[in-house]
Amino acid sequence: MGLADVGLLLLSFIVPFLILIFGLPPFLRLLTRMGKVSDDVHKRPPSKVPEPAGPMLFAAALVGEALVAAGFHSWIPVAVMLGAGVAFLVGLTDDLFVLGGKAKPLLLLLAGFAFVGVIAIRPDLYQPVLTFPILGDTAPHSIIYTVLAVVAFPVVANAFNMMDAFNGEISWFALLTSLALLVGVVLHAAYTSGFSLARVAATLPLVAVAAGFLIFNRYPSRAFDGDSGSLMLGAMFAGLAITGGVEIAAIIAIVPAILNSFYTLSSIRGFVERRKMLSRPTYIGGDGLLYPSTEPNAPNTLIRLILLGGALSEKDLVKSIIYLTVVACLFSFAISALTWVQ
Amino acid sequence: MKLAPLIGIEAVAFLLIIAETVLFFDFVVPLGPIPHSLTDYTGLALLKLILIIALVALWFVVMVGLTRLYVRSRIATAPKPST
């Protein structure tokens, strides 16, 4: 790795980070002037927060990935941003017009198709194998792997989207899981001969966007990303896990989000737009704390399960989610180390 | 420590995901001899489909079971606002 490579790696993190730091405040002022503000419903009385910040997140990620594509002459960022771009557009449509509960996952399949479409141009975009700790590689399974890659986009993007309910929840979650992803890709690169550095560099804009957005989204939030932001982050994560060849470690890192989606979908029996849920999983008490619903038909979200252990303020609830995510990311580090370190 | 049961559920979820993915790619996908007729092919495809559904169902049943156990143990003492 030469000095130019180190410079490119640094730039692919710093540039998107600075774009968010300096670009988001004027964008948030613009959103406020346009009346694009949402109630922060977990505050008493609800405060108004600009939403969606997703377009600025997408712009920052796009510039970062463009740098990687140009600097490393790589198609990986192109494929990742094609998938993330489609997810961003689906999310933006939902932010502006509200899509149905079933329409969103179906439209997100297009993100998966856009991503795997690039393999027609660059067959080395990803290897159709999974690598397990200790056991090593599976045999190549092009068709099954490609189908799973397409399906991964709606699944992961929706999982990220469902982790976007409280101040700082999505930004902490995206930052921690993208760091776990980065560790996996770095270990993969360090212990595999011929592994392209572009696969590592492509992960850095995601880390930068998550870190930059955390500054504005942490409690008390000054910005909400909207579905355009959370779906884009999820789609980027899915694409980078596939191109980095660290699918197993990536799945483990997002287990809290997978469980949250599973709980929600299994308890409400299908895809229902959250604004149309008949009963709420949690409610705010007169003391400002969040309580779990004890109604028998209340959806079993991860939040409700956490609150069954005791009422919490929004800030402490997000801390609990961070702890669960940290544990999952530690599992993910262990999986990455067991898989790649020889 | 209140999060310990949920961390346990998380660990079970991730161990099952790994174990079932290994089973899927190393045993279910390469299963059986090369089919020689359409009947063979259909039978093998059906068997693989059943095995895949069984793997998904196993994860589903274990997670639902663990969650119900957790909710039942906590719901009686669920916090309620004093006012």
pLDDT tens-place string over residues A13-58: 999 999 999 999 999 999 999 999 999 888 878 889 999 999 999 9
Q: What angle do CA A83, A245, A16 make, to 5 degrees?
A: 50
Nearest to A211 by CA among A8, A15, A51, A9: A15
B52 touches A: beta carbon within 8 Å = no
Give the global pTM.
0.92
Closest B-chain CA to A335: B18
The residue count for chain B = 83
Pairing of strands A131-132, A136-137: antiparallel
Range of the domain at B70: 45-74
* Domain-embedded: residue B49: yes
A102 vs A174, more confident: A174
* Domain-embedded: residue A224: yes
Based on the structure, what is the number of domains in chain B? 1
Percent of chain A with pLDDT over 70: 96
Averaged confidence pLDDT in chain A: 91
Average pLDDT over residues B71-83: 77
Range of the domain at A30: 3-36+47-244
Check: CB of residue A37 under 8 Å from CB of residue A95. no
Pairing of strands A37-40, A47-50: antiparallel
- Nearest by CB to residue A130, choosing from B21, B63, B71, is B21
Partners of residue B16 in chain A, C-beta under 8 Å: none
Check: CB of residue A46 under 8 Å from CB of residue A40. yes
Based on the structure, what is the number of domains in chain A? 1
Chain A stretch 249-268, residues whose beta carbon is closer than 8 A to a beta carbon of chain B: 251-252, 255-256, 258-259, 262-263, 266
* Domain-embedded: residue B65: yes
Confidence of residue B54 (pLDDT cuts 50, 70, 90): very high
- Nearest by CB to residue B14, choosing from A255, A262, A266, is A255
Q: Is A337 helix (H, G, I), strand (E, B) or coil?
A: helix
B55-64 pLDDT, tens digit per residue, is 999 999 999 9
d(CA A118, CA B18): 28
Average pLDDT over residues B60-81: 86
d(CA A157, CA A159): 5
B1 touches A: beta carbon within 8 Å = no
* Domain-embedded: residue A336: no
A237-248 pLDDT, tens digit per residue, is 999 999 999 999
pLDDT of residue A275: 55
C-alpha R_g of chain B: 20
d(CA A26, CA A31): 9
Tell if the CB–CB gap between A308 and B17 is shorter than 8 Å.
Answer: no
Tell if the CB–CB gap between B83 and A135 is shorter than 8 Å.
Answer: no
Q: Measure the N-to-C terminal CA separation of chain A; round to a whole number of Å.
A: 20
Confidence of residue B34 (pLDDT cuts 50, 70, 90): low
Phi, psi (5° rounding) for residue A223?
Answer: -155, 140
Nearest to A202 by CA among A39, A57, A69, A308: A69
Sole residue written with tokens 């933006």: A92
Question: In this structure, what token pair is assigned to residue A117?
Answer: 């479409």
